[in-house]
Amino acid sequence: MSKDLSPPPSTVPPAGWAASYEEEPSQASTPPSPYGAQGGMTSLKPFGWAKDNLFNTKLNTVLTLACLAILWFAVPPVVSWVLLDATWLGTSEECRAGAGACWSIIVVKHRLIFFGTYPYDEQWRPFLACALFVAMLGVSGVRAFWRPGLAVAWALVLVGMGVLMWGGVLGLTHVPNDKWGGLPITLMLSVFSITLAFPLSILLALGRQSSLPAIRTICVGFIELMRGVPLVSVLFMASVMFPLFLPEGVTIDKLLRALAGLTLFTAAYLAEAVRGGLQAIPKGQYEAADALGLGYWQKTWLIILPQALRIVIPPIVNQFISCFKDTSLVTIVGLYDLLTAATVATTDPEWRPFFAEVYVFAGLLFWIFCFSMSRYSQWLERMANRYNRR
């Protein structure tokens, strides 16, 4: 039996994409309108549309009525809980008296949820760091900015973030990183781990494709080991075993250990995505490079990678999404990320009954990030396909 955990690439178009951790199904196979097969071609009037898409068969009529019944019973209570009966700025007593959601807990606790235990008076710094970061993320999504300058800008922004968070220079007070918490931890861990994992994953993927058996075996072994165990166990390993690995007297702090664990884990999954890209390059490209007399690294750097990496941009974005969600696991090894901060906010005895509001809020934050990125990756895939189809 093959030791390979990933599905055989030949069955998955385009090769190897299914190997990514939590893949989006390829949008290429989706027709323009997945719902309402008959929709849009008959009548534009609302009545005709409803007849075509909601009441075209007996079964569909029953289903539509059932859905409408669910909406009829579910929407009014939800709307009154979320909006009409909600308390927005009251005290916890007013919340207990009210029937709806208690959004005041978010108003009161938002600094704790966003920034954790960061010193209260200095919290403009993580705020600025996150704002810079999100702005940078937005800029990176625009194709017109995809040029070498972007990498320089990212380096500057990351240095700026580090200065803002750590302080100690430019008159900013020093804040040790065991005081950091909340959104900055989540954002920084996910971006740093994917950034550091990317070059490592290219090397791993190249190693896996290599013709040299020793190198191939070690790379396959590492990739399959990481993909075969849960992230929690890697994080445990990072938090309890890394200190043992280092020579006596050298310590490495908790945040960096978790980052190292996340990076190794992400690199294994990314390597499979990159391998998909490498395998999608026609053999003729390799042969043409050989015919030109290029050496291995010239061939890889000038011919193969530029084509392969363009193909794997959407799976990389998907990997980033799952990495972003996975950072929430660092709460298990005792780091203070967004989820930990939200959980801490719900343990205040005064506000204890209002856990739902906090989790809805934290879930919404995660959802906004992940959903926009997944939409972006689908758009990227459509662009790539349009480019290829011609």
User: How far apart are alpha carbons 329 and 344 in whole angstroms?
Assistant: 15
Q: Which of residues 279-308 bind other proteins (CB under 8 A)?
A: none
Asked if 309 and 205 touch (Cβ cutoff 8 Å), the reply is: no
Residue found under tokens 């625009």: 142
One-character DSSP codes across 298-321: HIIIIIIHHHHHHHTHHHHHHHHH
Q: Which of residues 339-378 bind other proteins (CB under 8 A)?
A: 339, 342-343, 346, 355, 359, 362-363, 366-367, 370-371, 374
Count of CB atoms situated within 10 Å of the CB of 289? 18
Q: Decide if residue 331 touches other proteins (CB under 8 A).
A: yes
Nearer of residues 118 and 222 to other proteins, judged by Cβ: 222
Q: Decide if residue 332 touches other proteins (CB under 8 A).
A: yes
Nearer of residues 7 and 138 to other proteins, judged by Cβ: 7
How many residues touch other proteins under the rule CB under 8 A: the total is 81
User: How far apart are alpha carbons 74 and 80 in whole angstroms?
Assistant: 10
Tell me the closest approach of the beta carbon of residue 185 to other proteins, in angstroms.
Answer: 14
Q: Which of residues 127-186 bind other proteins (CB under 8 A)?
A: none
Q: Which of residues 12-71 bind other proteins (CB under 8 A)?
A: 12, 18-19, 21-26, 29-31, 34-39, 53-54, 56-57, 60, 63-64, 67-68, 70
Nearer of residues 175 and 354 to other proteins, judged by Cβ: 354
Among 41, 113, 179, 240, binds other proteins (CB under 8 A): 240
Among 226, 317, 367, which Cα is nearest to 24's? 317
Asked if 328 and 186 touch (Cβ cutoff 8 Å), the reply is: yes
Tell me the closest approach of the beta carbon of residue 66 to other proteins, in angstroms.
Answer: 9
Among 214, 291, 389, 390, binds other proteins (CB under 8 A): 214
Q: Decide if residue 211 touches other proteins (CB under 8 A).
A: yes
Both tokens assigned to 224: 């399959």
Nearer of residues 99 and 152 to other proteins, judged by Cβ: 99
By residue count, the chain amounts to 390
Asked if 358 and 342 touch (Cβ cutoff 8 Å), the reply is: yes
Helices then strands (H, E): number in the chain?
Answer: 17, 0
Among 245, 292, 306, 334, binds other proteins (CB under 8 A): 245
Among 32, 46, 247, 282, binds other proteins (CB under 8 A): 247
Both tokens assigned to 231: 């992230």
